[in-house]
Amino acid sequence: MWSRAAVLGRETTLMVSPSALRRVQHHLEAHLVPHAVGEHDVQSLVDKEAQEQVQARARLMSTKSLQSNATFDTYMRYDEIQAYLKQLEADYPNLVQLQSIGKSYEGRDMTVIRVSLNGGQSPRAVLVDAGIHAREWIAPATAVYLINQLVEHTAAHRNLLDGMDWYILPLVNPDGYEYSQTKDRFWRKNRGAPRDSWLAWFWNMLCERGADVNRNFGFHWMEAGASTYPCAETFAGSKAFSEVESQNLRDFVLAQNADGRFKMYLTLHSYGPMILYPYGYDYRVTPAPDTQELKSIAEEANAAMVAAGSVPFTVENSAELYPAAGGSDDWAKGVGGIAKSYTIELHGGGRNGFDLPASQIWDSVTQTFEGLKVFGVRAKSL
C-alpha cells in the first residue's frame, strides 16, 4: 500500500504523473483538500536505489560468492534466494527440507523451507510467507533473515524450534518480484491473471497482466476493497483462486494442516509499520471471538521490536485500516484453520515507503526478528 489508503478523515499518499500533477492539484484545491507534494521526482529515487543495488552487489562479489549466502546489504534476487535455500538443505539435511508447493504462472518454483528438529513431526507449526506483493522487497528479506537465524543459529533459538516446526515461503509471488526488480519497481500484482476470454486482446492493449494475489483468496471474495477491473492495482482475479500462486498456497495449507497443527500464520508485507489481525473483509463484521488474544500477542511482539530500536508498530484490526476481502490472512483463519493469523506491514523507507534503502535492510530485519521470536514463543502455547 502507499501508506494508509484513502479512508475518510485520514491522510494518504498518491503518485501522479508529471502531466497530471497540475490537474490533480487544482482538483484538490477546488475541493479544499489540504495537500502537499512530498517527492517531486520518484524516478530519481528509483534510479538511486538501483545504483546502490549494483554497488552493493559489486562489493559482495569481490569478497565472497553471493551464490550460496544470505545477504542483507542488498535485496536478493529470486535466483539468489533459491540458491541460498538449496545450500541450506545441503548443509543442514537434518534440520531443513525444501518443498516446491507448485510453480508460479511463469514457471518459477514456490519453495517452502521447513525448519524442524524432528523431521516435521512436531505437534505445532508456524507458517510464514512474504512477497505476495511484488514491490514490498523488505518482506522477503525479513523471511530470509528468519530462515538464516533458525537454520544457521539454531543453538541461540532452540526454544523456537523445540516442539514446533517452521514453514517459510519467502516469495509467494516470484514472478512479480522479478518484474519489480527488472521492469517496474512499484509493481504489486502477479504476472499472469489468465485472460482467456475473447476480451483478452483488449485488456492486453490497455495494461500489463496481473492480479492482486492478496485479493484472490476464496473467503468473502470480492466483497470489499477489491476490483473486477483487470488494470486495477487491486484486481481480484477473474474468480476466487483464479491465480496459481493463491491456489498453491491454499493447497499447501489444506494438505499440511488437516490435523490443525498450524497454530499461526504470519504474512509479511510493507509498509507500515503495522500489525493487522483479522478479519479484514468488512469492518461491520462481529470481531473474532479470540480478538483479545490476537491483540495481546501482537502487542507483545510490538514491545519486543520497540525494545530492539524499532519505531512502534500500530496494532489494529485490518478492516479498521481499510476493508479488503480475499486476503490470505482472512482465508487462513476463516478456512485454513489457522486461528492466529497476522499481516505484518514492515518498515517503510524514504519517501516512497516500498523502496526502503538497502542500507536499512539490516536494522529492519533484525528489529523485526525480535517480534517474530515473540510470535513464535506465543505460538508454542496455543
Which residue type is seen at 39? E
Are the CB atoms for 319 and 280 separated by under 8 Å? Answer: yes
Q: Binding to ligand ARG by residue 129, rule CB under 6 A?
A: no
Q: Binding to Zn ion by residue 269, rule CB under 5 A?
A: yes
Which stretch, 122-130, 157-165, 173-181, 324-332, contacts ligand ARG (CB under 6 A)? 324-332
- Binding residues for ligand ARG restricted to 337-366, rule: CB under 6 A: 343
Which stretch, 10-18, 76-84, 190-198, 322-330, contacts ligand ARG (CB under 6 A)? 322-330
Q: Binding residue for ligand ARG (CB under 6 A) from 80, 129, 245, 329?
A: 329
Are the CB atoms for 271 and 352 separated by under 8 Å? Answer: no
Q: Binding to ligand ARG by residue 276, rule CB under 6 A?
A: yes
CA separation for the pair 89, 194 (Å, rounded): 34
For 67, 107, 215, 248, 276, the CA distances from 242, given in Å and listed in that order, are 34, 16, 11, 11, 25
| Shortest Cβ 150–Zn ion spacing (Å) | 23
| Shortest Cβ 139–ligand ARG spacing (Å) | 11
> Of the two residues 261 and 269, which places its CB atom closer to Zn ion in the complex?
269
Q: Binding to Zn ion by residue 189, rule CB under 5 A?
A: no
| Shortest Cβ 343–Zn ion spacing (Å) | 8
* 65 grid coordinates: 560468492
Q: Binding to ligand ARG by residue 324, rule CB under 6 A?
A: yes
Q: Is 345 a catalytic residue?
A: yes
DSSP tag of 287: P
| Shortest Cβ 365–ligand ARG spacing (Å) | 19
Q: Could you list the beta-strand ranges (E) of the chain.
A: 96-103, 109-115, 124-130, 164-169, 262-270, 274-277, 314-317, 340-346
> Of the two residues 151 and 265, which places its CB atom closer to Zn ion in the complex?
265
Cα(first)–Cα(last) distance of the chain, in Å? 31
Number of residues that bind Zn ion (CB under 5 A): 2
* 169 grid coordinates: 515461503
> Of the two residues 73 and 316, which places its CB atom closer to ligand ARG in the complex?
316
The interface partner of residue 318, options being ligand ARG, Zn ion, none and the CB cut-off 5 to 8 Å by kind, is: ligand ARG
260 Rama class: left (phi>0) / alpha (psi -120 to 50) / beta: left
Which stretch, 9-17, 22-30, 71-79, 321-329, contacts ligand ARG (CB under 6 A)? 321-329
Which position has the grid cell 484513502?
A: 6
Long-range CB contacts (within 8 A, 24+) of 103-107: 103/244, 103/248, 104/173, 104/174, 104/175, 104/190, 104/191, 104/192, 104/244, 104/245, 105/175, 105/190, 105/191, 105/192, 105/243, 105/244, 105/245, 106/174, 106/175, 106/191, 106/192
Closest CA to 380 of 220, 162, 177, 201: 162
* 290 grid coordinates: 479470540
- Dihedral of CA atoms 52, 53, 55, 58 in degrees, nearest 10, equals 170
The interface partner of residue 226, options being Zn ion, ligand ARG, none and the CB cut-off 5 to 8 Å by kind, is: none
Q: Binding to ligand ARG by residue 136, rule CB under 6 A?
A: no
> Of the two residues 4 and 195, which places its CB atom closer to Zn ion in the complex?
4
| Shortest Cβ 166–ligand ARG spacing (Å) | 22
CA separation for the pair 251, 253 (Å, rounded): 6
The interface partner of residue 161, options being Zn ion, ligand ARG, none and the CB cut-off 5 to 8 Å by kind, is: none
> Of the two residues 117 and 285, which places its CB atom closer to ligand ARG in the complex?
285
Q: Binding residue for Zn ion (CB under 5 A) from 57, 114, 133, 380?
A: 133
The interface partner of residue 135, options being ligand ARG, Zn ion, none and the CB cut-off 5 to 8 Å by kind, is: none
- Beta bridge partners, 111, equal 100
Choice among 49, 136, 243, 345 that is catalytic? 345
The interface partner of residue 77, options being ligand ARG, Zn ion, none and the CB cut-off 5 to 8 Å by kind, is: none
Binding residues (CB under 5 A) for Zn ion: these are 133, 269
- Catalytic residues, which ones? 345
Binding residues (CB under 6 A) for ligand ARG: these are 1, 214, 269, 276, 280, 318, 324, 327, 329-330, 343
